[in-house]
A = this chain, B = another copy of it.
Amino acid sequence: MPSTLGYALLGLLAREPRTGYELAQALRIPVGYFWSASHSQIYPELARLEADSLVHGRVVPGPGPRDTKRYTISAAGRRALAAWVVMPAELEEARSEELLKTYSLWLADPAAAREMVSGLRDSHREMLSRYERIAAEMEHDGPLDPVTPRFFDYATLRRGLSFERHAIAWCDWLLGALG
């Protein structure tokens, strides 16, 4: 059974074949895709997926100077992924450093506390506008049919939009309360 990272890789490969390098690029910043990983984690995981015959790798001459291995998902990989995505998801564990800091904000200097929350709001605003740009592009690119991968890109993106908006509203409320 693959790890969560394994399923993340299968999810990308189910859409189109990619090399390890391209997967690492895709997982560098998790846009519309709430998972990230570094290449040092990806290469060993790809080897495991191949050992389990969930993906097949074929060496091809890349655009770069070194040979690259392009991975394709197998029928078994597709079945494993399809089975995993409909399994009831664990309750989110809700780990947030930002909230952990807020929890102890009562003992900080009030001005510094306000500044901290204000900085938080800025970060969320930045993320929001990044998401909004992508959403506008996707909506412009044509109709979103809920049986296509593109629709599910959009669905996860909408969750990101919603998350950032509520985070900003919360910062506003907190700043108001802090005076």
Residues on A facing B (Cβ under 8 Å): 4, 7-8, 10-11, 14, 30, 32-36, 78, 81-82, 84-110, 112-113, 115-116, 119-120, 123, 127, 146-149, 151-153, 155-156, 158-160, 162-163, 165-167, 169-170, 173-174, 177-179
Contact = CB atoms under 8 A, between A and B. Distances in A.
A103 B36 contact: no
27 contacts: A7-B104, A10-B104, A11-B103, A11-B104, A30-B95, A34-B94, A34-B95, A34-B96, A36-B94, A85-B105, A85-B108, A85-B113, A86-B108, A88-B116, A89-B101, A91-B127, A94-B163, A99-B156, A99-B159, A102-B152, A102-B156, A106-B152, A146-B178, A158-B170, A162-B169, A163-B166, A166-B166
Nearest to A33: B103
A42 to B, nearest CB: 15
Contacts of A146: 177-179
Nearest to A91: B123
A103 B153 contact: yes
Given A90-B97, A91-B127, A103 B156 contact: yes
Contacts of A166: 162-163, 165-166
Contacts of A100: 4, 7-8, 11, 33-35
Q: Which 4 A-B pairs have the closest CB atoms?
A: A34-B99, A34-B96, A11-B104, A86-B112
